Amino acid sequence: MAQRAQRSLEAARNAVPEGTFAVGAGLIIAGLTAYGFQITSFRALDKLDYRALSGLWVLVFVAAPGFFLPLEQEVGRALADRRARGVGGGPLVRRAAFLGTLLTATLIIIAFALGPILVPNLFDGEALLLVCFAVALVTYACQHLTRGTLSGNGRFRPYGEILGVEGVLRLSPTIALWLAGVDQPVYYGLCIAIPPVLASAWALRGQRDLVTPGPASPFSELSANLTFLFIGSVLAQILSYAAFLTATVLASTKAEEEAVADFIVGVFLARIPILLFQAVQAALLPKLASLAGAGRDEDFRNGLRKLVLVVVGIGVLGVVGGYTLGPWAGGILFGDKFTLGHRDLALLAAGSGAFILALTLAQALIALMGHARAAAAFALGIVGFAIVTALEPDLFLRVELGYLAGSLIAAVAMGALLLERMRSAGADSLARLVAAIEHEPLEI
């Protein structure tokens, strides 16, 4: 029996594409430590300071994935293409580094130009959090370029290490600050800003031949679709955090501003379904990859439909859990200061589930070269969010309903566009679709 179990385990390992376990483990650690950071900082700071720190978190995770993840994806794609042809990728990486530096500098200049707006409205007057944001732009630019270089070279184990190590390096000093009684948000802001570059350095230890000599790289090698990738990625991140950003701007009294701290905690509780989806990705995607590679298009489409059903099921589970257990779980994790109610958590969970579905379908659509279509679907979602939010006067209910409506609109539009695209897709395109979802997973 032990031998049969061992053979079964080896067969399962061989069936799973290289890097699936490493990336999956890194994502799980990153997700858990993200929640650990939120729990610890919520307990360490008063509500207004936590709201300011959350403003930094949201701004970082709108800007960094929004602008740098597309560059990472294109570097990984172009490097993998060069590697398959036996061509060195050094010039490509240097070209990407130049573009990343230019983009980072531009974003920092824009951030400081908008400082008079950002500091009082998003950072609650904590000007040093704006400095933390500038530092985070630099460190995340380095990290995403590193991740793209690793994935393009097929080095998915160190890629997974980046995800996990960053989370650990963020959470560990946060716990130390809390235990030491530090209650200044800027120190917790540094825990967000600095770890990305340290995690990249850790993952690069012992790596060889990542940047090898090769022919010159024109700008076009990083895809004519890069602009649409940028637009779609930024719009996706804005929709993801639209509820928090809008509630922060609309809060007009001190009581409402303190309540926004509870609201951002609710947003993170509602994102627990993302962790569940990450757990099933590794089990479902290898089978889809094998079907696509074998040219079994109809079986692949059936498998993709099952994946969508799993996403919907996880979303429903999140809604039920948010309504029945959300306030209780929030009280246990975040203490007596947490006061968000059943309805709020259920609506946020529903919006989160719909957003996961939209993002999953967007990855599939982009893999089939539907970059502009994916960006248009997210734009429709943001328009839907704005319209619904304008119709309801209650501070939290308006953004919760807007988030749900915007995410549903984006998901429906994405699904319709994907079906149209898949009708003309061949086996090679379907294989690219699976690879995109597999190694460009959802992150919190």
pLDDT tens digits for range 110-126: 999 999 999 998 898 99
| Alpha-carbon span 166 to 222, nearest angstrom | 27
| Alpha-carbon span 368 to 151, nearest angstrom | 19
Residue 9 — very low, low, confident or very high, per pLDDT cuts 50/70/90? very low
Residues of the domain holding 420: 224-444
Looking at residue 432, its pLDDT comes to: 57
Task: With respect to residue 6, please indicate whether it lies within any of the assigned structural domains.
Answer: no
Instruction: Tell me: do 302 and 207 sit in the same domain.
Output: no
- Both tokens of 265, joined, read 């905690």
Looking at residue 424, its pLDDT comes to: 67
Instruction: Tell me: do 369 and 397 sit in the same domain.
Output: yes
Residue 383 — very low, low, confident or very high, per pLDDT cuts 50/70/90? very high
Task: With respect to residue 377, please indicate whether it lies within any of the assigned structural domains.
Answer: yes
- From 222, 241, 275, the end of a domain falls on 222
Query: Given a cut of 80, is residue 15 above it in pLDDT?
Result: no
Looking at residue 293, its pLDDT comes to: 52
Tell me what the pLDDT averaged over the chain comes to.
Answer: 81
Task: With respect to residue 172, please indicate whether it lies within any of the assigned structural domains.
Answer: yes
| Alpha-carbon span 92 to 76, nearest angstrom | 10
**Mean pLDDT value of segment 82-92:** 84
| Alpha-carbon span 230 to 48, nearest angstrom | 32
Instruction: Tell me: do 246 and 145 sit in the same domain.
Output: no
Biggest distance spanned by C-alpha atoms of the chain: 68
The number of distinct structural domains making up the chain is 2
Maximum mean pLDDT: which of 6-10, 26-30, 55-59, 212-216: 55-59
Instruction: Tell me: do 276 and 163 sit in the same domain.
Output: no
Residue 437 — very low, low, confident or very high, per pLDDT cuts 50/70/90? low
Task: With respect to residue 211, please indicate whether it lies within any of the assigned structural domains.
Answer: yes
Q: Is the CB of residue 72 less than 8 Å from the CB of residue 63?
A: no
pLDDT tens digits for range 147-204: 989 988 888 889 889 989 999 999 999 999 999 999 999 999 999 999 999 999 999 9
Looking at residue 87, its pLDDT comes to: 84
Instruction: Tell me: do 239 and 217 sit in the same domain.
Output: no
Residue whose tokens read 């079907």:
291
Instruction: Tell me: do 298 and 217 sit in the same domain.
Output: no
More confident residue, 290 or 199: 199
**Mean pLDDT value of segment 211-215:** 83
Query: Given a cut of 80, is residue 440 above it in pLDDT?
Result: no
Residue 277 — very low, low, confident or very high, per pLDDT cuts 50/70/90? low
Closest CA to 194 of 171, 160, 161: 171
Query: Given a cut of 70, is residue 335 above it in pLDDT?
Result: no
Task: With respect to residue 3, please indicate whether it lies within any of the assigned structural domains.
Answer: no
- From 173, 194, 222, the end of a domain falls on 222
| Alpha-carbon span 348 to 331, nearest angstrom | 17
Instruction: Tell me: do 184 and 251 sit in the same domain.
Output: no
Looking at residue 5, its pLDDT comes to: 42
Instruction: Tell me: do 100 and 237 sit in the same domain.
Output: no
- Both tokens of 193, joined, read 């800003």
Looking at residue 1, its pLDDT comes to: 45
- Both tokens of 94, joined, read 């240097």
* Number of other residues whose CB lies within 10 A of the CB of residue 137: 24
Looking at residue 216, its pLDDT comes to: 80
Instruction: Tell me: do 103 and 161 sit in the same domain.
Output: yes
Instruction: Tell me: do 213 and 348 sit in the same domain.
Output: no
Instruction: Tell me: do 266 and 415 sit in the same domain.
Output: yes
pLDDT tens digits for range 229-264: 888 888 988 998 898 888 888 887 777 877 787 788
Which amino acid does the sequence have at 54?
Answer: S
Instruction: Tell me: do 379 and 236 sit in the same domain.
Output: yes
Task: With respect to residue 9, please indicate whether it lies within any of the assigned structural domains.
Answer: no
- From 222, 238, 265, the end of a domain falls on 222
pTM score of the predicted model:
0.81
Query: Given a cut of 60, is residue 274 above it in pLDDT?
Result: yes
More confident residue, 71 or 290: 71
